[in-house]
Amino acid sequence: AQKITQTQPGMFVQEKEAVTLDCTYDTSDQSYGLFWYKQPSSGEMIFLIYQGSYDEQNATEGRYSLNFQKARKSANLVISASQLGDSAMYFCAMREGSVGGGSYIPTFGRGTSLIVHP
């Protein structure tokens, strides 16, 4: 079974609008971390934001915020005021501890392709 599920293969958004990219996860660990990465067409992996399972507040980094709903096991990325440069692949990832059978090394979802229209 997949540990990280990203159900949106592709998303389109108008420039300056907000967009939400979905991510659900599966773990039995109490201590885990969730990441979002951006991969532009140039191919590099860019770290965007992190949410720890014990963090009480949703993480925010500039225009990026992570909507963390622990009971629903979801960690959606919200990009506010989209820009043309936001067009890229976005990957959700989770690292677990040993209780969940993890290794502290992230497991990635299959990604969502975001296209921002002018």
Partner 1 sequence: NAGVTQTPKFQVLKTGQSMTLQCAQDMNHEYMSWYRQDPGMGLRLIHYSVGAGITDQGEVPNGYNVSRSTTEDFPLRLLSAAPSQTSVYFCASSYSGGTRYGYTFGSGTRLTVV
Task: State which of positions 5-34 bind partner 1 (CB under 8 A).
Answer: 33
How far, rounded to the nearest angstrom, does the alpha carbon of residue 16 sit from its chain's CA centroid? 20
Q: Please tell me whether residue 44 binds partner 1 under the rule CB under 8 A.
A: yes
Q: Which of 29, 50, 64, 74 binds partner 1 (CB under 8 A)?
A: 50
Based on CB atoms, which residue is closest to partner 1, 56 or 118?
Answer: 56
- 57, 51 contact by CB (below 8 A): no
Q: Which of 47, 54, 99, 117 binds partner 1 (CB under 8 A)?
A: 47
Cα distance between residue 84 and residue 13, in whole Å: 10
CB of 61 to partner 1, least distance (A): 9
